[in-house]
A and B are shown apart, each in its own frame.
Chain A
């Protein structure tokens, strides 16, 4: 593990370490008490045997200090008269064991759940603070996978497996110490199959992993086949391919069946095999114990034989688990690595001297250029000034750089050459969050959150009233269709709610941007999804608001609509990352160029209407 990964791990652990240590201690105590109980039973049995062999003077073999205490009060006869004391001791042992087992569970849960919470929170907030560019390039499916199933893997490891490992080790260690103290030879007999059992479990799960993987893949393929069939149901029906699809699905279904059966078969071999080993080990312990008790009663008492038999049956299960967990250990490491990769990506930051400056000022682009990291140039030497309160329209083909140009105003990207000044301040010296909250940008493909329409519109403005939401929706021409929904403004958006059309989404996005106070307002081709009337109505509403004396928002509109363009104060025609024409509508139609040619389509249309064959085939 690299240093930065260790640091990440440590930062997750912080505050939980003590709980973890506590959990492990509690676990050791509960294992300990669990292992004392057979000793009590053994001591009692030995006493019983000695009584029936008429040796009431023999020593009591109960665990100390109980043995000395009993001896002091009369030895075995006292014990026989006071068996209820042993019973009470037993109950106390179980109770103490139970309490510590509970504490172990409680503390492990608290530590591991806090750990996962920290991990999830960190991931989420880190993702929120990564740059716009990161998210443009991101593979969303992969990211979500890391944030969910990888987190689960790590969580599972911490919540159960880690403590399980300690559990197995503590158990083996304590048991071995006790057993070796009783009889070395017998310990050897009772442990002879333990290493093979462990190796068997470890090797089996290592080996079988690829079969698990194959079954998983087959299952994935089955789901994919199903998913494809269901999403393509129109095509299936239109071509009458139900029978063909059924064959395809049956094949995938059969394949998954066979691979799962293979797994079941392997698992039955595992359980059958490891159970055989376990039972054999118990059998060997019983038989060797019997032989030893009979042939060398001084070396091993009957009670001690019972200890061996009880211990070994208690040990076998954790040892099998240990083999399995250790062979799975790699998964958690891999998952943690994938999570760390996200956290190691640098989030976006402001320069230390960044501050808050007024945004309702003139905007100046000075020799602005922008290129992506890979060197692709998008903007080259843009120069222009937009006066406060002016409306600027941008026109250009896809890829001409107009979107990038307006994105620069929110610092979603930073200029790579030249500078953008707002009121004379270089935009790079303005705090990003401050800048963005004063610049309203409606993206071409806006994202709506899965909550009510009302909350979606009010999302950028804390504590806004219902009236404000409705007013904004009215301006964006969304009020009517929203009212048309069964639940009006409370209609849920997204998977569990209504499906909105592109234009409806746009209008809600426009409303939500209009709801907040903007010094600069940008429509990134977002008015084109609404019809011409709505487009006009929205711009009309924006102008009206200005007349009220509220601060003038400087507006940027990317549009293809001539009517929209014509009403702007300045129009920029863009081509391959440069501005090729700049001026008002009147100025631009007076000069030769792209704008004039587009403008002239209007008259070409009139020719077409009159039946001029020249434009046929446009």
Chain B
């Protein structure tokens, strides 16, 4: 089982991860340099304002003259303009890097996800992938852009302010700078703790969300079991924990600032004491310099705690980076060989002109399959199907029915033996060549949000409106489509959930038909739909199968009975095969299955009719 824990932090700084991330950020190299430059300028301005105030005091107020005030005002105005332009500029820069980098990583990730095989999707929850592509990338963008900005500004500020103070009055400067390492130590300690305690809060919070989810979706079952009180008690324990953890987190962060500010207070007080003495007794310091020092001393904790916070956040960001990079570096297990790509093109740039026509002869040659590290789900499977034949596959859940179909579609590749299409091992052709010739209808049909028309056209992107409608008519779906509010242009909702299951099924038939596939694959639905839709679906199946090689995971008697050949699978092996008549004549699995199904269908009909 893969580890899907999302609250892990990396313990140590791993430079290789950041190097990889920096490599991805290469298109933003210029931006990053510009951020570095701008932040140094901004920091310089930040240091210069107290100096301007110092001038105001020492040049004018303290000596009682306004000579040169015009020049001073102009300087002040220039500083304001300069500083505000910098602010405007770096926000835009950082935004561009943050958002642009997110976009870039998401693009790379998405493209890569399109290449990863089904075995990957089998073991990775969709929610996990979405979190990588959304919150993790967001965090990376944030860290690279704003983290860098904060870092740069803080470092530049500390450096410039130190130099300025040393130049103005090195004795006072040393006094102020003495608190810097102390503040740095405390800030480092606290920022780490604050971050850790808030992570704890988030952890519990996601549990609370889960609890609400369960409490609401499971409410009906809870009632039948009279679990309300027990549920509430468990929930209360959770919120108790939450209350404690959040208070702890808030109190920890409430402790931090007062301590740091008080430390800065020591520095300020010392400056006032020593500086005042220097002013009145020694005359080595001016009043303006004294106030400037006071300002610097009260402000210096800010960049320090900034750096500490960003360091702590980097650990989280590193964990995110590791997960994202791991995703980007996952090797696709099913890939066309370079020779195949050279001739037939890849998934994104097919060379259709080189594609041979697909007739539909299918051969399974000693095919076996097992999941990585798992047991065999299919063993030594042999099958020869002539173009145009209809094959029905029956068997219990877990008998290997779906595996046969998935192998045929090359969603998985055999771990032993080979599969030939038109007499050629399908690994010698591109995936897209095969999949472009497939018609595929799933038991639980999946539609995309968009209109009915767009969904049908998914089968062949260059189909005209007329062809879309013809295809819908072919499977008798037009009648219900026209009753929808906007006909073919009705939005089907996310995942098609504004339509009923039966309607979705009909549309997915139309979608498969418009592709005019040579091979048709169908996982027949077991869910009951109303009789009328059911009959339409039956008719659609008959239309779909005519003249095509087809593989159907079959449940309905009519489908099974009409097949050219029926395969009975059990525990990954074919235990019976033949026509309906042949199989029915023998005692065995098929005969039992058929009797049961017959009774069920007949009874259903009687009950419905009554």
Contacts and interface: CB of A to CB of B under 8 A. Distances in A.
A321 to B, nearest CB: 16
Contacts of B290: 45, 48
Contacts of B84: 272, 275-276, 279
B220 A136 contact: yes
Contact of B409 (A238, A446, A513, A597): A238
Contacts of A503: 397
Contact of B211 (A116, A124, A228): A124
B545 to A, nearest CB: 17
A302 B287 contact: yes
B110 to A, nearest CB: 5
Interface string A607-618: 011000000011
Nearest to B111: A246
Interface string B229-269: 01110011001101100110011011101110110111011
Interface stretch (A5-13, A86-94, A471-479): A86-94
Interface string A266-298: 011101100110011011001101110111010
B96, B102, B250: which has the most chain A beta carbons within 10 Å?
A: B250
A522 to B, nearest CB: 9
A577 interface: no
A476 to B, nearest CB: 15
B394 to A, nearest CB: 15
B173 interface: no
B210 interface: yes
Contacts of B603: 560, 562, 598, 601
Contacts of A41: 272, 291, 294
A105 B250 contact: yes
A234 B405 CA distance: 12
A51 B110 contact: no
A106 B557 CA distance: 71
A290 B103 CA distance: 51
Contacts, number: 421
B65 interface: yes
Contact of B126 (A227, A239, A280, A290): A227
B61, B92, B605: which has the most chain A beta carbons within 10 Å?
A: B61
B601 interface: yes
Nearest to B121: A233
Contact of A246 (B57, B103, B110, B126): B110
A159 B250 contact: yes
B69 A227 contact: no
B225 A117 contact: no
Given A117-B242, A144-B216, A240 B432 contact: yes
Interface in A182-240: 219, 222-224, 226-240
A376 B290 CA distance: 85
Interface in B188-230: 208-228, 230
A279 to B, nearest CB: 5
B269 A532 contact: no
Contacts of A140: 213, 216-217
Dominant secondary structure at the A interface: helix
Contacts of A87: 269-270, 272-273
A276 B223 CA distance: 61
A235 B115 CA distance: 14
A227 B494 CA distance: 10
B276 A618 contact: no
B166 interface: no
Interface residues of A, number: 154
Given A231-B495, A236-B114, A283-B76, A271 B269 contact: no
A240 B103 contact: no
A449 B214 contact: yes
Contact of A86 (B134, B273, B291, B348): B273
Contacts of A49: 62, 287
A177 interface: no
Interface string B433-455: 00110101010001011000000
A289 B55 CA distance: 13
A230 to B, nearest CB: 5
Contacts of B262: 91, 94-95, 98
A231 B266 CA distance: 60
A83 B277 contact: yes
B448 A232 contact: yes
A128 interface: yes
A512 B608 CA distance: 33
A133 to B, nearest CB: 10
Contacts of B397: 501, 503
Contact of B280 (A51, A124, A267): A51
A377 B412 CA distance: 51
B107 interface: yes
Nearest to B59: A290
B64 to A, nearest CB: 5
B87 interface: yes
B96, B209, B259, B280: which has the most chain A beta carbons within 10 Å?
A: B280
A263 B99 CA distance: 11
Interface in A503-518: 503, 509, 512-513
A143 B53 CA distance: 56
B540 to A, nearest CB: 17
Given A228-B494, A231-B446, A238-B435, A264 B458 contact: no
A289 B448 contact: no
A241 B458 contact: yes
A24 B539 CA distance: 74
Interface stretch (A167-175, A249-257, A418-426, A534-542): A249-257
B236 A148 contact: no
Contacts of B134: 219, 222-223, 226
Nearest to A138: B216
A443 interface: yes
B100 interface: yes
A320 to B, nearest CB: 13
Nearest to A348: B223
Contact of A253 (B107, B250, B264): B107
A286 B528 CA distance: 81
Contacts of A268: 87-89, 91-92, 95
B80 interface: yes
B52 A286 contact: yes
A495 B125 CA distance: 8
B580 to A, nearest CB: 11
B411, B599, B608: which has the most chain A beta carbons within 10 Å?
A: B599
Nearest to A215: B99
B212 A436 contact: no
B515 interface: yes
A532 B251 contact: no
Contacts of B113: 229-230
B595 interface: yes
B598 A128 contact: no
A135 B220 contact: yes
B221 to A, nearest CB: 4
B99 A257 contact: yes
A17 interface: no
Contacts of A496: 4
A104 interface: yes
Given A148-B212, A230-B113, A433 B129 contact: no
A245 interface: yes
A162 interface: no
A114 interface: yes
A560 B599 CA distance: 10
B486 to A, nearest CB: 20
Nearest to A131: B223
Interface string B330-352: 00000000000000000111100
Interface in A123-175: 123-125, 127-130, 132, 135-136, 138, 140, 143-144, 147-148, 159
9 contacts: A41-B272, A88-B269, A135-B220, A224-B449, A231-B495, A234-B446, A275-B83, A305-B57, A447-B218
Given A52-B279, A109-B251, 8 more contacts: A114-B243, A147-B212, A238-B411, A241-B458, A268-B92, A294-B66, A436-B226, A450-B210
Q: Which 6 A-B pairs have the closest CB atoms?
A: A105-B254, A264-B95, A94-B265, A109-B250, A98-B258, A238-B440
